[in-house]
Structure 1
Amino acid sequence: MTTTVLPAAPERTSPARWGAVGVLTLSTFLVVTSEMLPVGVLTPMGEGLGISPGKAGLSLTVTGLVSAVTAPIVPRLLGNLDRRIVLAAAMVLLAAANALTMVASGFGTLMLSRAVLGIGMGTVWGLASAVATRLVAPRHIALAVSFTVSGVAAASVLGVPLGTFVGNGFGWRAAFGALTAVGLVVAAGLVLVLPRLRRPEGPGDDAVSTAPRPLLRPAVVTGLVVVVLLVTAHFAAYTYVRLVLEDRAGLAANAIALLLLLYGVFGMVGNFAAGALAARRPVHTVALLAVGIGVAVTTLAVFGTAALTAGAAIALWGLAYGGLSVGAQLWMTAAAPDRIEHVTGLYVGVFTAAIAAGAFVGGLVVESAGILPLLWSAAALAAAALLAGVLGPGPKSGTVSGTAR
């Protein structure tokens, strides 16, 4: 089969290529905002649909499960399709899912819309980082991945807090309507700005090989175990953070929105700090992030009734979790530099499955035992992730910048 690919990466990355990375960042920003917006509007959303907050939180579970199946499969099905068109089509699907959420009349329609969202999310998130590595010079790979994944943290800084403010002021349906419009704009931007990107070719770009190395290598498996434990811990607690701040700290809706903004600001800092560190020491970086998440959740469990302490814990939580997406992504890139598209799809699939598991487990614990047991359970999972990362085999330090392309 004849393949059409980008020419070999230049030694310098042109402004146009950085602009394309910027559009990919907007894409990850939008998919994560769409996924996580129910966190900020959980209470009014549940009231509007006539369901409990626990059931409303299950909308994240459905999205995560569908995305978990979609992300690993898509790279294997694409063949020589233009990645630019695939990403744009997935973004249109995402916009349609948000429109369906906006007009949902009950639990069933909500679950359907969030399932459709999972298909778009899994496709965009699963391809974005891998595509970014093909747009820049080899020495800029870690920075390009950091920028692309920064859309995840930016969704917390701008997307979820702004969506929460819109939901508070105009109703939660208006927030999902705004996401619909933005999704269509980003889809057009992907078509206009990205170059044609066919099947990757050459070492490090998932080329078709007569004897490809196994994808599930020890370092990859260790990283996936850490991701499962840590992301499950995070989302078990974070999905219900509004309830934590309402019930334990007694905060009002707008105060919670401001704390979510604080969380996101520190998340942006954590994203770029972790990207710089993980490019050289991915294992140590992810272990440090696990410590941060564990300490933050434990602080909320012990001292969360004090508003100031709760705010400090939320800031630390944002700093630590903000670096996890890029830190774990660079772990995977270092562990399988010869199969970047496939390992990224696998990683995103496991990541989003853990999101689903966290939201589901969190809902069960909240409904059956309450907020405090939920926080302690999340802290225990974070500790388990730390042990798995430190004791298991990981990628060699300093391998990301030398990733073959």
Structure 2
Amino acid sequence: MVNKSRRTPFRPPQGAKAKTRPAAFERYGDDEALDRAVNGNRLPQEKPANKAPAPGGRRGRTSVEQQGEPERLHKVLAQSGIGSRREMEEMIVAGRISVNGLPAHVGQLVGPSDRIKVNGKLVHAKFSFSSRLPRVIMYHKPEGEIVSRDDPEKRASVFDALPRINGGRWVAVGRLDFNTSGLLLFTSSGELANRLMHPRYQLVREYAARVLGDLSEEKIEQLREGVELEDGPAHFETIEDGGGQGANHWYRVTLSEGRNREVRRMFEAVGATVSRLIRVRYGPFLLPPYLKRGKTKELEEAEVQALMKSFGVGSGGEEKGRARAARPAGEVDGNRAPRPGRAPRDGKVVDGNRAPAPRKARPPRRGSAAGGEADGNKRAEGGARTGGKPAAGGRPAGGGRRGRGRAPKPE
């Protein structure tokens, strides 16, 4: 029997007039410290008005039906949401994918008339699907859900709460622990998911962490400088005081990687315990204040197009060069700034372009093999070998095989 007299932050007392509260409080009741830790100084955002459904299509989205052309098998499967391209190549090598009843091979071209099976099950890989934009959704994951389709303990899965998708399946962009809540991204494009997770882009993850007790300035500085974990050193790029009352204190932290339970383990390394953890940002994506736990918000076409252009992915999810992700207009910059004290060196990639290393003048060759440095493996500035064994046939030192005196190529 339900006790109707019991009050919770989400249930006003009977007979009480409902108060008008900002949208941010819809999720966390009247816990102002939590709201400030999660939303910072951002103003409450109103939920966007529902748009009329597009004629003959889903709400707010249009599709472009085109005749599919032969494409790489692993790319077609990745765009159908079966998995990433690398996973598809591994499954092809393992013999788990067949085309028209025959084992598939890496690099195989397939067309709309081919019958593709994965683990013996037919995949409806419509090639018109590759010509339309993939779907991207933001999900407010509650605590108590696992980011997996197969769980021996039969716990609740985030995939049970996602909308159905035709002709593919959702691919999770990273993971959140069972006891961690907050922003989680899903897309129907395996290639786009790979880009959003790739360490090359170093997308910032921002969390609101409730810690038992206050941290001293020494411990906060230690978390900024770095702590040693079992799988290597780790550090917060930023850590800000989020306030709080009593024994619990909120902090907003950012980092550019997503190792297993990394935030919790970092606080444990300085003797602190995290009692609650909420992810509020992933790269350019912010957790909308109006998005309740267990609910999703799908990106509009213009947002998806800007995202794919930013990460160098074509309209079908295929790779378009190795351009570094630039933030979409109006979005939060999710790329980590260069480390202090490290300037770009000659020959390194700067802003996506490889700068050629200038060749230094070659010193004049000596007529005798004698002299030079004690270490015969060291080279002069121009790259010519000096010292070492005398040259055969009366040739001057450094005049051996062609190319030995060349300057090193840029990295």
TM-score (norm 2): 0.22
More helix by share: 1
Higher RCO (Cα < 8 Å, 6 or more apart): 1
More strand by share: 2
